[in-house]
C-alpha cells in the first residue's frame, strides 16, 4: 500500500533581492517570489495580523492587490517595525508523489529543513552581505489530516538559532544576480553532501556569526573555523602553522598577498586569545588591534570572515572534500618547505 503525499515547505528569506521570479536549485528545491499577500500561502507565512498591518502602512502600488512585504515583530505594545526589510522571496521545497505506508516512517519531512539550511549556507558562502530566513512553514504535512481543497499547517521545523532576527545593523541588501546561480548551485551541491567533521565545524561557525551580538564573539567564531580548516594534525606552534597554511593556500604566488594573509590571521588569532582569556573585553581596547591598519573592529572582522569564506569555497568547489581529508594539509606543508605556490 502507498499514500499520495503533497508536501510543501516554505521559508521566507530576509534581506534578499533578486529580479527573477523562480530560481530552481535542485530537485524539488527553489527560490520563489511571493508578491501577493492574497496568495493563500501568505496567510500561513505571516499571519492575519501581519498582513493587516502591511495593508495599512504600505502605499497601494500600481498593480492591484500587491504590497511590499513589511518587517514586523509582535510584542508588548503591538506591532513593531524591524530595521531590516523582509524579502518577498521564499525558499520553496515541494514533494508530490506516492510513498510506501506508513508515510511517517517512509517520508522524511526533515529533508526540507536540511535543504533550507544548506541553501542559506551556500548563499552566505557566495557573497558577504547578510542573508537570513524565517521559520519554515509546512503545508500538506503527511503526518496531519488535510482539509479537502485547502491547506493545513503543522508546527514549524526550525532550529532555535535560525529563528532570531539578525542582531546587527544591515546596510546593504543581499542581491542574487542571474550570473550567480550556477556558482550557487555548485556550492550548494558540495554543502549538501558535506561529511568531513572539520569542514562541518567551519561551516557551523560561519553560520554562528549571524546570531552573535558582538564583534568579539563573531571573531571567535571565525578563528575557530579557520583552526578547523587549517590545523588538522597540528599540536604545536598553532598560531604560526595556522597563519602560514592559510597564506599558502589563499595567497597563491603573490608575495604581498601571502604576507597580508599571514599578518591578518596572526593578529586575529592573538585577539581571539586575549578575548577568551579575559585580557580585554573589547577588540578596540587591545594593543594588538591598535598596532594594525584597521580603522574599526568591524573592518578587521570583515577581512577575517572574507578569508574564511574564500577558504571554504576553494575547498568545496576548486578542490574536493575527499582531497581536503587526504592530501590538503600535506600539500600545504610541502609548498611551505619548497617555496612552490599552492595550486588549486
pTM for the predicted model, two decimal places:
0.81
Cell of 54: 502591511
pLDDT (tens, 9 = 90+) of the chain, 344 residues, equals: 887 777 777 777 877 889 898 999 998 899 988 766 566 666 655 556 556 655 554 444 443 444 344 333 333 444 333 333 446 788 888 888 788 887 777 878 778 888 989 999 999 999 998 888 765 555 554 454 443 333 333 333 333 333 344 444 555 788 999 999 999 999 999 999 999 999 999 999 999 888 787 889 999 999 999 999 999 878 888 999 999 999 999 998 889 999 999 999 999 999 999 988 887 778 888 888 888 788 888 899 999 999 999 999 999 999 999 999 999 999 999 999 998 899 87
Residue-wise pLDDT for 131-149, tens only, equals 887 655 555 544 544 433 3
Alpha helices in 19-162 (DSSP H): 40-46, 48-57, 103-106, 110-126
CA atoms within 13 A on the CB side of 235: 0
- Phi, psi angles (nearest 5°) of residue 230: -105, -10
Q: What is the DSSP string of 285-300?
A: G-HHHHTSS-SSHHHH
Element (H, E) at 329: helix 328-338
- Phi, psi angles (nearest 5°) of residue 90: -125, 150
Q: What angle do CA 205, 316, 186 make, to 5 degrees?
A: 110
**Which region holds residue 97: left if phi is over 0, alpha if psi is between -120 and 50, else beta?**
left
Alpha-carbon distance of 10 to 32, in angstroms, equals 9
Strands (DSSP E) contained in the chain are: 2-14, 16-17, 22-26, 29-33, 73-75, 78-80, 86-100, 132-133, 137-139, 174-175
Q: What's residue 35's pLDDT?
A: 62
Amino acid at each position: 500500500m502507498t499514500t499520495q503525499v503533497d508536501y510543501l515547505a516554505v521559508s521566507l528569506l530576509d534581506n534578499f533581492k533578486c529580479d527573477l521570479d523562480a530560481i530552481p536549485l535542485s530537485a524539488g528545491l527553489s527560490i520563489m517570489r511571493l508578491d501577493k499577500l492574497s496568495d493563500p500561502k501568505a496567510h500561513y507565512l505571516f499571519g492575519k495580523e501581519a498582513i493587516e498591518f502591511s495593508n495599512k502602512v504600505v502605499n497601494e502600488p500600481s498593480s492591484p492587490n500587491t504590497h511590499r512585504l513589511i518587517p514586523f515583530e509582535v510584542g508588548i505594545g503591538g506591532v513593531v517595525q524591524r530595521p531590516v526589510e523582509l524579502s518577498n522571496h521564499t525558499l520553496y521545497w515541494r514533494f508530490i508523489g506516492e510513498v510506501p505506508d506508513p508515510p511517517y516512517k517512509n517520508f522524511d519531512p526533515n529533508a526540507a529543513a536540511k535543504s533550507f539550511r544548506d541553501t542559506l549556507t551556500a548563499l552566505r558562502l557566495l557573497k558577504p552581505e547578510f542573508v537570513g530566513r524565517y521559520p519554515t512553514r509546512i503545508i500538506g504535512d503527511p503526518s496531519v489530516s488535510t482539509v479537502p481543497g485547502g491547506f493545513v499547517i503543522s508546527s514549524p521545523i526550525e532550529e532555535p538559532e535560525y529563528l532570531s532576527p539578525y542582531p546587527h545593523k544591515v546596510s546593504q541588501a543581499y542581491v542574487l544576480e542571474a550570473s550567480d546561480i550556477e556558482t550557487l548551485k555548485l556550492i550548494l551541491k558540495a554543502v549538501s553532501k558535506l561529511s568531513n567533521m572539520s569542514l562541518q565545524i567551519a561551516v557551523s561557525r560561519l553560520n554562528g556569526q549571524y546570531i552573535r551580538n558582538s564583534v568579539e564573539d563573531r571573531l571567535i567564531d571565525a578563528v575557530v573555523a579557520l583552526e578547523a580548516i587549517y590545523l588538522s594534525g597540528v599540536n604545536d606552534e598553532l598560531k604560526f602553522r595556522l597563519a602560514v597554511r592559510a597564506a599558502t593556500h589563499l595567497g597563491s604566488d603573490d608575495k604581498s598577498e601571502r604576507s597580508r594573509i599571514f599578518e591578518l590571521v596572526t593578529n586575529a588569532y592573538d585577539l581571539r586569545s586575549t578575548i577568551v582569556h579575559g585580557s580585554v573585553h573589547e577588540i578596540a581596547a587591545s594593543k594588538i588591534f591598535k598596532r594594525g591598519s584597521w580603522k574599526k573592529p568591524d573592518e578587521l572582522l570583515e577581512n577575517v570572515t572574507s578569508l574564511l569564506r574564500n577558504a571554504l569555497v576553494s575547498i568545496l568547489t576548486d578542490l574536493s572534500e575527499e582531497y581536503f581529508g587526504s592530501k590538503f594539509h600535506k600539500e600545504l606543508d610541502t609548498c611551505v618547505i619548497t617555496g612552490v605556490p599552492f595550486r588549486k
